[in-house]
Amino acid sequence: MCGIVGYVGNGETDAIDVLLNGLSSLEYRGYDSTGVAVANGALRVHKREGEFSALESTLPTESLRGDSIGIGHTRWSTHGPPSDANAHPHTDSENRVAVVHNGIVENYQALRDELTAEGVDFESETDTEVIPHLIGQALSAGAAPETAFRRAIDRLEGSYAVAAVFASSDEIYAARQESPLVLGIGDDGYYLASDAPAFIDYTDRVVYLEDGQFARLSPGEFVVTDANGTVVDTTVETLEWDAEDAGKSGYDHYMLKEINEQPTALRQCLRGRVDGLSSTVELAELADLEPSWPVQFVACGTSYHAAMFGAELLRERGVPAQTFLASEYDADRVLVGESTLVVGVTQSGETADTMRALREANRAGARTVAVTNTVGSSAARECDHALYIRAGPEICVAATKTFASQQVALTLLACRLSDASTHDVVQALRDVPDQVQHVLDTSRASEIAAEYVDSDAFFFIGRGHQYPVALEGALKMKEITYRHAEGFAAGELKHGPMALVSEETPVFAVVIGDGERAHKTVSNVKEVEARDAPVVAVTDGQTDVERYADRVLKVPASNDVAGAITANVQLQLVSYWVANELGRSIDKPRHLAKSVTVE
């Protein structure tokens, strides 16, 4: 979602170069307009609707050099459509302060009405614009920049990450509440961003702001304070990845690169956590976590499908587990107590709906675990425990390697929380990275994509561990191709969805293993075949499903858990190649954002 970047330097680096580089690095978050503001005795603000290139092509870059203080923004619309006027930064009426903001100001209408009654003219439809006008009021009353900024923030209700620059100051002021904000500590100055990739080219040393904290960045120092202005101690952490990790490495799209990075990501997730000799699982992060139940998973989107996979694993190992869409989770209506373990699955660790659900669980007295990719994220800090999936940076909006890593991490968690034998699971997991590599090396997904690219719709079916994979396969197809796609529990086809099946609707059937569920799915495939719909079987060959399929995507034979991971890779590749055939914006699909930080 919206992205913030800021820089205060000592004069050796031009702020505009840092801002443009940062905005380019934040494109993956999803956005519909961009803008910058630089300060040097006066504010110069430039902003444009559309992609970053629209701003870059009209920016008087050379005339902005020499300034070492500035802020930039990529906007994802919430209040008001994409337009030049609604793009950030926003200023007060006298152009004394410029503000960028992520999140939602829930009381903005009351503030706007109040300011309008006092004679303030608004130039945009955004909730953000109330902030610079509140600051402007305080400046007119004689307040210093920092005091004016704090007074304005005190008036806000909702979630926000806010940064402001002043014409009269060589400092950036920032504050955070339920929306991520991270400081970068460099040799030539200080950086500010909603996500570290915005400044990873310049420094890998970071400080994560907590809710309710303020930051003041000047050429010579940074100071973090609480809501009362008291200086708080901060910890400088070093990121374990660099700018090269976030490049395309010769691939046409980040998505294809990240699909191909999955063997490495899975090895990283497993490293030091499984003992092949004893077939045991050791999770150092959860060493002091006492197994308890029921287990409740809360998540959104792709992470919700991973959570469904995790809950299924726990249930088959004798642990009661449920999965909730985080946006629908209500601790007052769900049985939550001190014995409940609530697991929030969120690749960014900042997903607003998931964070709200976890906070409700904490207030209800439950123990909480964050399963996340992001060290230092809100989820990691606010939960009792954090289990990192170790996937490395993922730039494409559509999640691929983080889903596979979530599948593996949740498998390890299921082993940790149950008393059932881990031998078969550990042996299967050890082989998964190589099996994924085999799929990548041998997949015929591009051929199948070319054959079915003009289909009316795409259906995906599976049972048990393969049901979440079917849902995820459909989601990937929707996200990056913009074609209609649906995932179903295979047995549900005959209870309504079969009415949609036709010769123009290929059905992707995930059939893994030789158990009862697999054979029942084969029966569902026969029902589809009888209605002349093309069938693509994603299978390890342990059933005779290939006899009834028009095309086959093969995965190595293993067990249901490993098969769910490798089958998912085949479906990722199908979606990618369909989108590629259609010429879609694969890494930045329309209307979507990488990290959804508003409810």
Active site positions, annotated: 2, 594
* DSSP conformation class of 244: G
Sheet with strand 97-105: strands edge to edge? 90-91, 97-105, 158-166, 172-177, 214-217, 222-225
Which residues have CB under 8 Å from 532's CB, separation 6+? 502, 503
What Rg do the C-alpha atoms of the chain give, in angstroms?
25
Q: Strands 458-462 and 485-489, how do they pair?
A: parallel
Omega prior to 294 cis, within 30 of 0: yes
Structure tokens at 108: 């903005």
3-state secondary structure of 301: helix
CA 174, CA 225: separation in Å to the nearest integer? 10
Q: CA 386, 387, 389, 395: dihedral to nearest 10 degrees?
A: -10
∠ at Cα 351 (109, 252), nearest 5°?
115
CA 317, CA 119: separation in Å to the nearest integer? 65
CA 209, CA 99: separation in Å to the nearest integer? 18
Structure tokens at 459: 């259906």
CA nearest 247: which of 537, 509, 433, 24?
24
What is the Cα 209 distance to its own chain's centre? 19
CA nearest 312: which of 560, 569, 568, 520?
560
DSSP letter string, 175-191: EEESS--EEEE-SSEEE
369 and 387 in contact (C-beta within 8 Å)?
A: yes
Q: CA 120, 122, 126, 127: dihedral to nearest 10 degrees?
A: 0
Type of residue numbered 518:
A
Q: Where would I find the H helices in 464-559? A: 466-481, 516-529
CA 181, CA 204: separation in Å to the nearest integer? 15
367 and 292 in contact (C-beta within 8 Å)?
A: yes
60 and 96 in contact (C-beta within 8 Å)?
A: no
CA 13, CA 62: separation in Å to the nearest integer? 13
* DSSP conformation class of 210: P
Q: Strands 205-208 and 237-238, how do they pair?
A: antiparallel
Number of Cβ atoms within 10 Å of the Cβ of 428? 18
Residue with tokens 């085999």: 438
9 and 75 in contact (C-beta within 8 Å)?
A: no
Measured CA distances, 528 to 90, 236, 327, 502 (Å): 55, 57, 34, 9
3-state secondary structure of 33: strand
